[in-house]
Amino acid sequence: MKLYCTPGSPYARMARIVVLEKELGARVEVIFAKTRTKGSEYYGINPSGRVPYLVRDDGVGMEESALICAYLDQLDGKPMLGLPPGWEARRLEAMARSLTDGLAVWGRELYRPANERSPTVIEHETERARRMVELWEREISHPVMNGPLNIAQITLACGLGMGARNPDFSYPQPKLRAWFQAAAARPSFVATMPAR
C-alpha cells in the first residue's frame, strides 16, 4: 500500500501516526507528494490533490483522513484506535476536527504571499481558535480524551500541533497545554512532527 502525504498536513499526520501506532511500516509505504503545484505528478494519482490518500494493494484509492485511519486501524484485524461507543465520543471527535480545520485554514492563509492573504479569513480563524481552545479547556478532562489512544485524541493533538507552527496561535489554558504536551511526547507524534 502507498500512503501519500505532505509533511505539514495535520490530516496526513493523523494517518502517519496510525501507521506507526499499528506498526504497519512494512505494509504501508509513506510517500511525500507535491500538492498545490501546477502540473504535479501527484494529480495523476489523486485528481483532487488532497492528502492523505491511500492506494490499497488492490489499486483502489481512498481519500479522507478519518476513513483512511479507520481502514488502517482494522487492517490487522485488531482495531484499537476507534472511538468508544456512544455520541459523546463522536461529539468530541467533531470538536477536535473543527479546531483542526480552522487551524489548517489559518495556516494555509499564512503560507500565501503576504499580498494574497485574506485578513478576513485570518481574523475569523483566529477568533474560532480562541473560542475552541476555551471550550477544550473545559472538555479536555473527559475520559474519552484521557483513556486509551483513539482517533479523537489523535485529531486534537494533530490540530494543536498545526497550531504550534503558527506564531500567532497561542493558548494559555493550563489543562489543555498539559494534555497536549503529554500527547506530543508519544513516539508516533515525535516521529511525525513537521519542521517549523
Domains present along the chain, CATH in parentheses: 2-74 (3.40.30.10), 87-187 (1.20.1050.10)
Q: What is the pLDDT of residue 39?
A: 87
| Residue of 181, 182, 163 whose CA lies nearest to 171 | 163
What string of DSSP letters covers 79-120?
Answer: --SSPPSSHHHHHHHHHHHHHHHHHHHHHHHHHS-GGG--HH
pLDDT average, residue stretch 132-143 = 98
Residue with the three cell numbers 461529539: 91
Residue 130 CB neighbours (<10 A): 13
Lookup: cell for 136: 477544550
| d(C-alpha 103, C-alpha 84), whole Å | 26
pTM for this prediction: 0.95
Percent over 70 (pLDDT), the chain: 99
What string of DSSP letters covers 144-195?
Answer: GGTSS--HHHHHHHHHHHHHHT-TT-----HHHHHHHHHHHTSHHHHHTPPP
**Residue 196 scores a pLDDT above 80:** no
| d(C-alpha 90, C-alpha 192), whole Å | 25
Indicate the pLDDT class of residue 37, thresholds 50, 70 and 90: confident
**Residue 165 scores a pLDDT above 90:** no
Q: For residue range 82-132, list pLDDT tens digits in order.
A: 999 999 999 999 999 999 999 999 999 998 999 999 999 999 999 999 999
